[in-house]
Structure 1
């Protein structure tokens, strides 16, 4: 279970590093709600924890890359984490992170 959480956290960090984000809004959506992984996501991880992890990853990356002011950061309006039934583990596209419910 811990390794699966690490995959999820790694995806968050990857997206944040890729975009140097300054997110206005963090959105988390569970599109795999009734699947085993979707239920597990809801029961064991949840939307509030996922959103807070996105915020923490962003703050950590701003510190690591010494982006101390908004002027030093790329402006991004929204970052989305989407849990869904799909092949593969995860991928990032634009400002979205897609994670397979099969690996939660």
Structure 2
């Protein structure tokens, strides 16, 4: 009986290798409840759950990549060799509702105890997930960017997300004493900078891939950040 031999051309081989690399580069998602014996862990299982978390994580990731204008894998932050982003429900001892470490998002079981029941719990959980997953994927100049700026960018994602509620998810314009105060104050400032230069925040994020430098503001605006912050406050007041 004749043996049939299958051959593959070099172009086909290169395409196959490219598809394999794309599969390896794609981010995978995992979720674990390490606090299932606690009230918060049980509340998570009842109102949110692992299936909802695994369904929502890719949606949040795709929103972040679109917001920060990163359509290709090469423009995005990865965690090799596994490239798995995990959400872990556990007791956090510092009082935070959520925090990140490397490629993990830790959601506070104690914080989940305070969520409203039903869909309100999913709303709270998901809005925090937008913030924390931004820390997973944003560039921070390998730790050289001001902490208030990276926190502000994370709240900027919430501000632009479907889970933003005026006056609840972020403060009104004009709050904050410094541009790098972080969270809502900085997110509103970044929104203002977008109004001056379309796509400013994604552009600043790209520039911070390797290092953060104050000179970036001069490159983008022709003036330093303190001057832009002063103009922002003057306009509001």
* TM-score strictly above 0.5: yes
Matched, 1:65 2:68: yes
Higher mean alpha-carbon deviation, 35-44 vs 23-32, is at 23-32
Higher RCO (CA-CA < 8 Å; seq separation 6+): 1
Q: Distance in 2 between matches of 1:101 and 1:75?
A: 27
- Give the equivalent residue in structure 2 for 1:102: 110
Supply the RMSD in Å over aligned alpha carbons: 1.5
| Shift in Å, 1:23 | 5.2
TM-score of the two chains, using structure 1 as the length reference: 0.72
Partners of 2:34 and 2:50 lie apart in 1 by 12
Rg larger for? 2
Moved over 6 A (4+): none
CA contact (8 A) 1:23 1:79 kept: no
The number of residues matched between the two structures is 83
The question of whether the paired residues in 2 share the 8 Å contact of 1:25 and 1:79 is answered with yes
Aligned mates of 1:59, 1:97 — CA distance in 2: 16
Q: List gaps (5 residues or longer) in structure 1.
A: 1-21
Aligned in 2, Cα 1:46/1:24: closer, same or farther, shift over 3 Å?
Answer: same
- Structure 1 equivalent of residue 84 of structure 2: 78
